[in-house]
Structure 1
Amino acid sequence: MAVDPFMGTRAQRCFIATIAIQAIVVLVMISITFRLVAEHVDFNQSNYKTLPCYLALFVLAEIFELLMAFDALRLRNVIQLAGILMFHLALVAFAAIQVHETKAALVRFQDCDGSFSFVNCGGPHTLFRKVEPFLIVVPCIIAAAWFVMVFFVRALYIEFGWAIFRVVGANPAMKSMYQVYQILICLLKFDFFSFTGVTMQLLIVVLSTNSAEFGLTVAAIPIVLLLLIGCGIAVQREIKWLMSLSLVLMLASETYLYKLVRFFQPSSEGQYETTRATLTVFTIVAFLLLLATFIVGVKCFTDFNKGLYNSKTFDTPLFRRHSSARTPGELKDDPLNEPSETRMSIDIE
């Protein structure tokens, strides 16, 4: 049974189109909200920084989700498709939280109709009432898109089932190890987004660029990126010393949870007031994702030297698919005895 080419089926094209269309609509709604608020407030004031955070995070999230979708389809990775569905649900929750945070930023006087302050009142004809419809429609659009995505993911699951079988054959132990490997690689990708999301918010919210907190936040960026890349290379190539180092650094990175204390300190009340909910959710999610990555990473480490590396699904450099040009000797040694163009790679993208 031949494997359909990348973007060669209706389900694949419709899945990508669903994500792309909802991303465009959502970003337009958020951009309109940002423009309407920017006309009346100064975003340099800490209590109004929830909108720049909101816009920046959704631009990052929509681009990330689209790239992850292309990546999952190209690799025929069902586990990553499931991860995208969970990520999309998280976007629904995040968009819903933003309605509350935007209201907290704009509405300072509850019992007024706007005659006293167009910006800081919450009554009719005020700034918040003007942008509220755009804020509410965002989670509705994302939720509607999720149901459509579920329909196409079901079709893709059926479509990709045969391709996954061809990678590791019918060996149950090999299949289990392969699935754990896929879960780890998927977690590393979502770790990247969650860390970038937290860092982006902190850099936007932090007032002084010469503060110690700002310097520590910037310094953490290359360290965590190297950690994630190193872990991916280690598990792909079964490099024990690098995997051990990555696991130790993951545990050390969990101390980043101390940021939660900063969000709720009385001295930081004004600085984090309107972004506290989003930052708290992102930080907790990043902590849980990293903890899950550590646990799955330990399981992958115990699977080293058990044959998965030698199954010829790992014989290509990072970010590249297998070449279809293989010698007769390589084809003869292939345990599946299948042409390489019908095989799929599980390398990091």
Structure 2
Amino acid sequence: MRKTSKTSSIDVSDIIDSYDDYGSAESQDRKAPIVDSASPPSRSVWRSFIPSSLSCRLYLLVALLEAFVDVAIEVELFLRVRSASNNSGQPDVDYGRLPIYIFLFGLAHGYQFILAVDAVRSRNMLQIVFLAIFNGVFIAYAVLQISEVQGALPAGTPGIISIPINVVLILPPIVISVAEVAYLLLSWKIHTEFGWQNYKLLGADRRIKKMFLHYQVFECLLKFDVYFWIAFSVQFIFLSLDHTSIEYPLTIAALPVSLLLLLEGHLGARFENKWLMTSSMVGTLAACVYFAYKLVRILMERTDTSFMYVWKSLVGFSSACIGLIILTFIMACIVFFNFGKGLKQHLSKTKRTLNSTPAGVNGNSAFRNPNRMSLE
């Protein structure tokens, strides 16, 4: 019969007890930050739109300043155009066109800022690239605006400020060019941040990342479709159509219907609803036929008084709408065939993570993501 050593039994039990105490204390220490992070301090709705990244904050600041300055300039131009139309001694000058163009230019800047906020919140690098291209188009539009306004407004037309009209018109191209340079410089830093965060949320699965890329391209096309469809409809309704024509109310009714189709495409792709996606795709084809009909009509009647002064702008916007619709339909087909392959689950997990995870290292929630999929 083996004799048990009292000393050894005490030592073993002490070791076991100390190990258990240490392990339980260590586990509690490890769990403590997680419990605290589950209930982050409440943030206001407005503060939730402010990114934690410095580069993203600078990007939104540039977009906000550009929109504010250019919209203020467009308001000044609008007031001068209205003053000139009230005291016009030139009956051959059509002052009705300029307020529409000024409105569309200001709307483009406001919409660009909204898309910039959306791109930062959704970490959509493709949308930031599209916005840089969109902003580059503003430069050409601002340059064309110089000749349009100078040819219609007298040099001494009064406004809110006493700056000469030539100086006022040269400011938008300068502001847009400076903003474009800032966008290009910030895009690389933002690309690095978004790439790392999306990698941790989506993992290293190339199939999921490829489907996510298709989804982001489709979403970008939908968002830019909205502006070009609105811009074309506003010009066609207020600059070309007669209020007594039957086409006038039909064109007005077609605008909200077309925007509803784009919303269906977004919801169908996000929730992988085949019925919504199918109806959106069919409606997109119908919209392509609609814009093609408008384009042919504009080209055939460009010498009429209704289209004589606006047909070039209408042709440009209608052609852009047709091109975007074709690309949107192609991407819609690709996204549709990706349904049921796992992207929906990843997008849902990403949304839950962004909504529930507090700010971590350096204020970046990506460092405290409990659903990391990069190395695990």
Q: TM-score band (shorter)? A: 0.7 to 0.9
Structure 2 match to 1:150: 184
Alignment of 1:101-250 (within 5 A): 101-102=148-149, 106=152, 119=154, 125=155, 131-206=165-240, 208-250=242-284
Q: CA deviation at 1:231?
A: 0.8
Q: For 1:92, give the aligned amino acid.
A: I
> Aligned partners of 1:32, 1:222: CA distance in 2, in Å?
30
From the superposition, tell whether residues 270 and 103 of structure 1 become closer, same or farther in structure 2 (CA, over 3 Å): farther
Identity of aligned residues (%): 29
Q: CA deviation at 1:200?
A: 1.8
Q: For 1:220, give the aligned amino acid.
A: A
**1:19-76 Cα shifts (integer Å, max 9, x gaps):** 1112122122222222222212159999222211122112211111111111111111
Structure 2 match to 1:254: 288
Q: TM-score, normalised by structure 1?
A: 0.79
Structure 2 match to 1:86: 133
> Aligned partners of 2:93, 2:252: CA distance in 1, in Å?
20
Q: TM-score, normalised by structure 2?
A: 0.73
> Aligned partners of 2:205, 2:84: CA distance in 1, in Å?
64
1:339 aligns with 2:374: no
Structure 2 match to 1:73: 120
From the superposition, tell whether residues 66 and 8 of structure 1 become closer, same or farther in structure 2 (CA, over 3 Å): same
SS at match of 1:146: helix
Structure 1 match to 2:77: 33
Rg larger in structure: 2
CA contact (8 A) 1:88 1:142 kept: yes
From the superposition, tell whether residues 140 and 55 of structure 1 become closer, same or farther in structure 2 (CA, over 3 Å): same
Q: For 2:335, give the aligned amino acid.
A: C
1:289 aligns with 2:287: no
From the superposition, tell whether residues 261 and 75 of structure 1 become closer, same or farther in structure 2 (CA, over 3 Å): same
**1:229-254 Cα shifts (integer Å, max 9, x gaps):** 11111111112232122112111111
Q: Which runs of 4+ in 1 moved over 6 A?
A: 43-46
1:97 aligns with 2:129: no
1:61 aligns with 2:111: no
From the superposition, tell whether residues 57 and 267 of structure 1 become closer, same or farther in structure 2 (CA, over 3 Å): closer
CA contact (8 A) 1:97 1:277 kept: no
RMSD of aligned Cα (Å) = 3.0
> Aligned partners of 2:241, 2:284: CA distance in 1, in Å?
29
CA contact (8 A) 2:215 2:335 kept: yes
Aligned residue-pair number: 307
295-304 or 278-287, which deviates more: 278-287
From the superposition, tell whether residues 272 and 103 of structure 1 become closer, same or farther in structure 2 (CA, over 3 Å): farther
From the superposition, tell whether residues 242 and 197 of structure 1 become closer, same or farther in structure 2 (CA, over 3 Å): same
Q: For 1:67, give the aligned amino acid.
A: I
**1:119-173 Cα shifts (integer Å, max 9, x gaps):** 5xxxxx576xx63432233123212210111111211111111111122100111
From the superposition, tell whether residues 76 and 266 of structure 1 become closer, same or farther in structure 2 (CA, over 3 Å): closer
5+ residue gaps in structure 2?
1-47, 158-163, 358-367
CA contact (8 A) 1:30 1:134 kept: no
Q: CA deviation at 1:206?
A: 3.9
From the superposition, tell whether residues 174 and 45 of structure 1 become closer, same or farther in structure 2 (CA, over 3 Å): farther
Structure 1 match to 2:356: 324
From the superposition, tell whether residues 322 and 18 of structure 1 become closer, same or farther in structure 2 (CA, over 3 Å): closer
SS at match of 1:39: helix
5+ residue gaps in structure 1?
108-118, 120-124, 326-336, 344-349
